[in-house]
Structure 1
Amino acid sequence: MFNESWRLAQGNEIIGKLYLSDVDQPWFMCTFEPAEGWETVRNLFEEQSEAMKTGDPERIGISMASIRSLGLRLLPLAGEGEVIPVMIHIMEGEAKFRA
């Protein structure tokens, strides 16, 4: 878990790369670099961001469940192992996750 950069993957498709910029436990704050696979999930993350802005707990829960159902994994750019994010948010070049 002490890697500082990961590929965000759904199955064999790479969604993007995350580069650790800060840790505010339990959150890992990162910059996000989209990859080709980003377009397949972008709308779900945009919906999550909009739901969070409204503060509607039901809408937030639904959007988080949609993202969780993607089966996303964080694969280190260097080294071995993988991290399964419990929660992940991506918005405007920034990402944060809990593992």
Structure 2
Amino acid sequence: MKDAWQLRRGEEVIGRLVLETVDMFWYDCRFEASTGWTTLRPHMEALRAAAERSDMDAIHKVDEAISALSLELAPEDGGEPIRDFLVRIKGDSARFRY
């Protein structure tokens, strides 16, 4: 079984990340959206737009807004949740680092 995490905001499940590969410090995953995805989707769209413009200030502001959501990655194997991380989601792909 591959490593997997639930991306959560409190009890709300935003989605599930299933590990595909590790690239240096980033964990590349398959993303399966859940009902809470609508909470995070606008932030990911803003992040992608800022990255396309190479606007580092905007990227940092969106990352701060995402951090303010108090998200966590809860390992499905019952391990300790990750609370300090960066996440990027596009379609059915996600990557995170902590």
Fold shared by both chains (TM-score > 0.5):
yes
After TM superposition, the structure 1 = structure 2 runs for residues 59-98 of structure 1, keeping only pairs within 5 Å, are: 59-98=58-97
Structure 2 CA distance for aligned equivalents of residues 40 and 57 of structure 1: 23
Q: CA deviation at 1:44?
A: 0.8
Secondary structure in 2 aligned to 1:89? strand
Q: 1:10 and 2:3 equivalent?
A: no
Secondary structure in 2 aligned to 1:36? coil
Contact 1:31 1:94 (C-alpha < 8 Å) held by counterparts: yes
Residue 26 of structure 1: aligned partner: 25
Residue 42 of structure 1: aligned partner: 41
Q: 1:55 and 2:64 equivalent?
A: no
Deviation per CA, 1:8-52: give whole Å up to 9, x if none.
001110000000000012101101000000012211111111111
Structure 2 CA distance for aligned equivalents of residues 36 and 24 of structure 1: 29
Structure 1 CA distance for aligned equivalents of residues 52 and 45 of structure 2: 11
Please, what TM-score do these two structures have when normalized by structure 1? Answer: 0.91
How many residues get paired? 97
Identity %: 33
Give the gaps of 5 or more residues in structure 2: none
Q: CA deviation at 1:85?
A: 4.0
